[in-house]
Chains A and B, each alone.
Chain A
Amino acid sequence: MCLGIPGQIVAITDPDRMMAMADVSGVRRQVNVACVIGASIDDLVGKWALIHVGFAMAVIDEDEAAKTLEALRELGEAQETLAAMAEGERALEVQP
């Protein structure tokens, strides 16, 4: 029920009713953007938003997304190093 899907705002269609056109995986649909208007409704064009039951509920923060992915990458690299270290230990153990 609480599912949200990322979509890109491509045009403002009815500023009075705060409606915009969003592209969600290639499907276009009118969404209400009342919850995400900042200084100007036009600033939303090009932004990615989390869309739920026809409403843009949050503008996705690209910096935060990048930070999360970076943390995951670092963990991956650390994991590789740890795995290499463990491999090294085992190699030492079986030396005659």
Chain B
Amino acid sequence: MKFASEFRDPLAARALLAEIARVADALGATRAKPVHIMEICGGHTHAIFRYGLDKLVHEGIEFIHGPGCPVCVLPMTRVDECIEIAEQPGVIFTTFGDAMRVPGSRGNLLQAKARGADIRMVYSPLDALELARRNPDRHVVFFGLGFETTTPSTALAIQQAAREGLPNFSVFCNHITVPEPIRALLQDPDMRLDGFVGPGHVSMVIGIHPYDFIPEEFGKPIVVAGFEPLDLLQSVLMVLRQIAEGRAEVENQYARVVPEHGNPVSLAAMADVYERRPSFEWRGLGEIDASGLRIRAAYSNYDAECRFTVGYGAPQRSVVEPEGCACGAVMTGRIKPTACPHYGTLCKPETPLGALMVSSEGACAAYWQYGGARALAS
């Protein structure tokens, strides 16, 4: 595939791995005293495991898997609310497939569908809009989930619904943002990170400057990266070189897709439709200031929170996360998935207990799919 296969060349990978090893040696990085690099994005976590990059790089490089999987950080309460909305008479509840198996306190969306709720997986919010047009006697709710990559698509869908005057479409908005949890992680005194591989597709929307605080306030390098193996290896090398040269900057390895200032149309649509919530709850990380978005009052007709009196603004219910679930510690890089007491026993991809085992971008699912199960067995 164009713009993909060229970035998988094994010869170029070998050259990158050799240069990474040279710089890592010069830094004195070893298995016992590694350089900690966090890949923020779940897509990067998946690619690292898929191509075995964690095994291929110099042993003095340790990847810490960041919180950039929106399905993984979704609290159980939100899943319960999805089911509550989906069970209302006349509702067609639409969602990306990723969210179907996230456990809530009353099971997941797949089980709710089996019990009779009209829950449909869609590829795009545009599919949900089309369903609303074709089913004027039903109300179609779209589960708005994801980081800044996905947020413009639901903003544009809401704007389109408003233009058409569609009365039977709304979005259950649980969009979240990347820079705020990174700040929270950097402020954690236990956190030991030396640099970041930044999220490529989020940055395609927001540009590279929202990360300026990472070098400026915390003195850490960040390199915005593409998703092919060579993109990731080159980005790791760029992070290492910054460390070796005593620099801390925001660099852009993925310039073929990421413009410095992001995408103006996407940013304008997001600003028009959404505003920041004072804070938002992240599974495993707790409340993070200004890290979630809600629909502005001007678009309240399209806001499922208003229509169904659920969601983050509604009175909170306490939902207990599964006992002993270590998703939070894994997500902040404190432990590896295999150190969780439930990994591979109570918690497997077929019967996930924690969210990190649900999404293919979750660190635990990636460990399991690409060798973690074997590691556990041996």
A residues neighboring B (CB under 8 Å): 1-4, 6, 8, 17, 25, 30, 32, 34-37, 48, 50, 52-55, 57-58, 60-62, 64-65, 67-69, 71-73, 75-76, 78-80, 82-83
Stretch of B118-126, B185-193, B316-324, B364-372 with 4 or more beta carbons under 8 angstroms from chain A: B118-126
Check B125–A61 contact: CB distance below 8 A: no
Question: Knowing A1-B359, A58-B204 touch, does A52 contact B150 (C-beta < 8 A)?
Answer: yes
Stretch of B9-17, B25-33, B57-65 with 4 or more beta carbons under 8 angstroms from chain A: B9-17
Minimal Cβ-Cβ distance residue in A for B233:
A72
One of B19, B124, B127, B147 near A1 (C-beta < 8 A): B147
In the complex, chain A residues whose CB is within 8 Å of the CB of B6: 65, 69
Residue B70 is within 8 A (CB to CB) of chain A in the complex: yes
Report the separation of the CA atoms of residues A58 and B265 in the bound assembly, to the nearest whole angstrom: 11
One of A30, A32, A68, A80 near B256 (C-beta < 8 A): A68
Question: Knowing A50-B201, A73-B12, A76-B15 touch, does A35 contact B152 (C-beta < 8 A)?
Answer: yes
- Known contacts A1-B98, A54-B127, A57-B152, then 6 further A-B pairs from the complex at CB < 8 Å, ordered by chain A residue: A1-B150, A4-B149, A32-B153, A57-B204, A57-B263, A60-B256
State the 7 A-B residue pairs at the shortest beta-carbon distance, nearest first: A54-B124, A79-B15, A64-B256, A65-B256, A76-B15, A2-B149, A64-B255
In the complex, chain A residues whose CB is within 8 Å of the CB of B68: 2
In the complex, chain A residues whose CB is within 8 Å of the CB of B145: 1
Question: Knowing A2-B201, A58-B204, A72-B234 touch, does A32 contact B19 (C-beta < 8 A)?
Answer: no
Minimal Cβ-Cβ distance residue in A for B163:
A17
Minimal Cβ-Cβ distance residue in A for B258:
A58
Q: What is the number of residues of chain B that contact chain A, defined by CB distance less than 8 Å?
A: 59
In the complex, chain B residues whose CB is within 8 Å of the CB of A25: 1
Question: Knowing A25-B1, A55-B156 touch, does A2 contact B147 (C-beta < 8 A)?
Answer: yes
Report the separation of the CA atoms of residues A66 and B301 in the bound assembly, to the nearest whole angstrom: 46
In the complex, chain B residues whose CB is within 8 Å of the CB of A78: 15
In the complex, chain A residues whose CB is within 8 Å of the CB of B70: 1
Q: Jot down 29 A-B pairs with beta carbons below 8 A, ordered by A.
A: A1-B42, A1-B69, A1-B149, A1-B150, A32-B126, A34-B156, A34-B269, A48-B2, A50-B204, A52-B149, A53-B125, A53-B153, A54-B123, A55-B124, A55-B126, A57-B201, A58-B204, A60-B3, A61-B256, A65-B256, A68-B253, A69-B7, A72-B12, A72-B234, A73-B12, A75-B15, A76-B14, A78-B15, A79-B18
In the complex, chain B residues whose CB is within 8 Å of the CB of A68: 7, 231, 234, 253, 255-256
Residue B103 is within 8 A (CB to CB) of chain A in the complex: no
Residue B24 is within 8 A (CB to CB) of chain A in the complex: no
Residue B34 is within 8 A (CB to CB) of chain A in the complex: no
Residue B109 is within 8 A (CB to CB) of chain A in the complex: no
Check A2–B150 contact: CB distance below 8 A: yes
Check A1–B265 contact: CB distance below 8 A: no
In the complex, chain A residues whose CB is within 8 Å of the CB of B215: none
Between A17, A52, A83, the greatest number of chain B beta carbons within 10 A of the residue's beta carbon is seen for: A52
Minimal Cβ-Cβ distance residue in A for B148:
A2
Check A53–B16 contact: CB distance below 8 A: no
Between A1, A30, A67, A75, the greatest number of chain B beta carbons within 10 A of the residue's beta carbon is seen for: A1
One of A55, A60, A72, A75 near B257 (C-beta < 8 A): A60
In the complex, chain B residues whose CB is within 8 Å of the CB of A69: 6-7
Q: How far is the CB of B130 from chain A (nearest CB, A)?
A: 10
Among residues 148 to 170 in chain B, which have CB atoms less than 8 Å away from a CB atom of chain A?
149-150, 152-153, 156, 160
Check B150–A53 contact: CB distance below 8 A: yes
Check B255–A72 contact: CB distance below 8 A: no
Digit string of B73-104 for contact with A (CB within 8 Å is 1, else 0)? 00000000000000000000000101000000
